[in-house]
Amino acid sequence: HYNDLFRCEEPFFSGRGKGDVAAFVEKYKENYEKAQRKGLICIPSGNHDMDRLARSIHGEELKVAFAFLLSMPGAPFLYYGDEIGMRYVEKLHSVEGGYGRTGSRSPMQWDHTTNAGFSAAPKEKLYVKQDESADRPTVEAQMADPDSLYHEIQKLINIRQAHSALQSRGEIEFVYAEEKQYPLAYLRSDDKEKILVIINPADREVSFDGNYAVREALYTFGGEAVFTGGKVTVPGGSAGFYLL
């Protein structure tokens, strides 16, 4: 059910808020127990055999998705170019048996120079055609923009590295993952700290029941959750890590 998150008609991480995370969570929990809570269950942003993440979710949705990917157990996997929101290149000629997957294998986009800095060769000589859109994302442009996906991912990596509970071997307990409902909420913990992660990709405010004594908001994107009267109210298009 990995594709329920990112690559289906209504992905959970779409702002339309019509997705479903419940089956993914149930399968994750099943395999987590089979691994005796010790295995590195890794969730990639993508790979050369999948559509690009940015083919089905876009803009700020990608930042919320990476808040999830970088707060889950296991080793994080970022497919090259996903950190700048590289797009799937449509209608490419298949090479190396890529077929429909070839659009996820286009050359990295570094800067504004020839072939986005990947090669000085004539563009028709590139083995796989690049995204030729005038607004194609590049590392250069994203590094220059403090609000870019690139910088948001850097921030998330730094927070993960600073908190052992968020790292590969911190435990996870799902506290809200209901069928066709938002948000997704889970506790990450180890012998040093406990962190509540709340992920709401939907473009509407949602809530769930829970009594939590929050000491500090370690990370917020899209607004901060409100904890009051045994209920947690979560802004639309948001993600937050809360130290308990």
Instruction: Give the pLDDT mean for 122-134.
Output: 95
Full DSSP string of 76-106: -B--TTGGGTPPPPPSPPP-TT-GGGGGG-P
Question: From CA 100, how far away is CA 15, in angstroms rounded?
Answer: 26
Tell whether 167 is covered by a domain: yes
Tell whether 140 is covered by a domain: no
Tell whether 92 is covered by a domain: no
Question: From CA 53, how far away is CA 44, in angstroms rounded?
Answer: 10
The DSSP bridge pattern shows strands 231-234 and 226-228 to be: antiparallel
Tell whether 106 is covered by a domain: no
Residues, the chain, total?
244
Report the candidate in 132, 144, 48 with the shortest Cα–Cα distance to residue 98. 48
Identify the band that residue 159 occupies on the pLDDT scale cut at 50, 70 and 90: very high
DSSP secondary-structure letter at 120?
S
pLDDT in tens, 75-96: 999 999 999 999 999 999 999 8
Q: Count of domains in the chain? A: 1
Q: Note down the domain range covering 173.
A: 3-87+147-243
149 three-class SS = helix
Tell whether 215 is covered by a domain: yes
Report the candidate in 49, 67, 42 with the shortest Cα–Cα distance to residue 57. 67
202 neighbors 15 (Cβ within 8 angstroms): yes
Residue 107 pLDDT greater than 90, yes or no: yes
**CA Rg value for the chain:** 19
Full DSSP string of 195-227: EEEEEE-SSS-EEEE------EEEEEESS--EE
- pLDDT for 38 equals 85
Tell whether 105 is covered by a domain: no
CA distance from start to end of the chain = 30
Tell whether 97 is covered by a domain: no
Question: From CA 120, how far away is CA 115, in angstroms rounded?
Answer: 7
Residue 156 pLDDT greater than 90, yes or no: yes
pLDDT in tens, 160-193: 999 999 999 999 999 999 999 999 999 999 999 9
- pLDDT for 24 equals 98
CATH number for the domain that contains residue 217: 2.60.40.1180
Q: Which residues of 183-215 are buried (b: 16+ CB within 10 A; e: fewer)?
A: bbbbbbbeeebbbbbbbbbbbebbebeeebeee
Tell whether 134 is covered by a domain: no
